[in-house]
Structure 1
Amino acid sequence: MKIAAITATLIAAFAPIAFANEKAPASARVDVKQYQYGMQLDIDQVLQRTDNSRESGVVPSVMVYRDSQGDVHAVRFLEWGGQTNQNG
């Protein structure tokens, strides 16, 4: 249980640094908003998102989407990478 708490604390501590290095996709000409838990997103069509299929662990991601009114938005969030460690 202590390991989980330490891991969560480290992720929370380093997330701002990871996000500072993450840039919005080139096609996004909109402000990237930080996702907050419970935020209501009106997603009609996903236009682009960060490919984290070769990453492992918790990594930053950006999704660019069109809402039901046709406006384009971008949101930044953390997600698990698609790579799994096969060690051991």
Structure 2
Amino acid sequence: MKTHSVVSALIASLIAPAVFASSSPSAADVPVVDYRYGMKLDIEKVVHRTDNSKKAGVVPTIVTYQDHSGAVHKVRFLEWGGRTSDQA
């Protein structure tokens, strides 16, 4: 009897993350919104950010973030790359 309940608990703990992940939208499903000056962003946690450290000049960046309610958003804006044009 105890073995059955332990096995059931183990299976439930292994399946629960998959069920939760399938019920919430993935970051790939979220449309990218272009940032406009003055736009209000409710950022609780940054999930991903484009790495522009090896790019020069003004380059587009996409930031994926969660708001305070847990919803995932993506916003695109321009920033200076981390490399100067005279670096090899």
**If the TM-score is normalised by the length of the shorter chain, which range does it land in?**
0.5 to 0.7
Give the aligned partner of residue 58 of structure 1.
58
Pairs within 5 Å for 1:1-12: none
Greater percentage in helix: 2
Q: Over the residues paired in the alignment, what is the CA RMSD in angstroms?
A: 1.7
Give the aligned partner of residue 74 of structure 2.
74
TM-score, normalised to structure 1, is: 0.65
8 Å contact from structure 1 (residues 62, 74) kept in 2: yes
| Matched residue SS, 2:53 | coil
Computing the radius of gyration over CA atoms, which structure comes out larger, 1 or 2?
A: 2
8 Å contact from structure 1 (residues 43, 67) kept in 2: yes
8 Å contact from structure 2 (residues 48, 63) kept in 1: yes
How much has 1:46 moved relative to structure 2? 0.3
TM-score, normalised to structure 2, is: 0.65
Tell me the amino acid that sits aligned with residue 86 of structure 2: Q
